Structure 1
Amino acid sequence: MAEVTAEARIEAPAEKVWSKLTDFSVFGEWSATHTGFPKGAPTSLEQGGTFEENMKLMGFPAEVTWTVEELEPGRTLAIRGKGPMGVTVGTRYSVTPDGDGTKVRIDGEFTGAAVSLMAGKLKDSATAALNESLRKLDGLVA
Structure 2
Amino acid sequence: MAKVSVSTSMPVNPAKAWATASDLSRFGEWLALHEGWRGDVPSEIKTGTVLTSVVAVKGLRNRITWSVTAYDPPNGITLSGEGKAGVKALLELKLKPEGDGATGELDVEFSGPGMFGPISAAVGKTLQGDLRRSLDRLVELID
Partner SS, residue 53 of structure 1: strand
Q: Pairwise CA RMSD of aligned residues?
A: 1.0
Matches within 5 A, 1:33-48: 33-48=33-48
Alpha-carbon distance, 1:26 to partner? 1.4
The 5-angstrom pairing of residues 81-120 of structure 1 reads 81-117=81-117, 118-120=119-121
Q: TM-score, normalised by structure 2?
A: 0.95
% of aligned pairs identical? 27
The aligned amino acid for 2:133 is E
Q: In the TM superposition, what whole-angstrom CA distance separates every residue of 1:56-89 from its partner, at most 9, and x where no partner exists?
A: 1111121110001111111021110011220100
- Unmatched runs of 5 consecutive residues or more in structure 1: none
| Structure 2: gaps spanning 5 or more residues | none
Q: In the alignment, what sits opposite 2:142?
A: 141
**Distance between the aligned counterparts of 2:61 and 2:108, measured in 1?**
17
Tell me whether 38-47 or 95-104 shows the greater mean CA deviation.
38-47
Q: Is the Cα contact below 8 Å between 1:86 and 1:114 reproduced in 2?
A: no
1:41: Cα distance to partner?
2.6
- Per-residue CA deviation, residues 2-56 of structure 1 (Å, 9 max, x unaligned), is 2100100110111110110101121111011111111033311111110011121
Give distance in 1, aligned partners of 2:44 and 2:116.
34
Matched residue type, 1:13: N
Match of 1:79 in 2: 79
- State the 1:109 CA deviation: 1.2
Asked whether the 8 Å contact 1:85–1:114 carries over to 2, the reply is: no
1:25 match: 25
What TM-score does the superposition give when structure 1 sets the normalisation length? 0.95
Q: Which runs of 4+ in 1 moved over 4 A?
A: none
Structure 2: distance between partners of 1:51 and 1:43: 11
Letter in 2 for 1:81: G
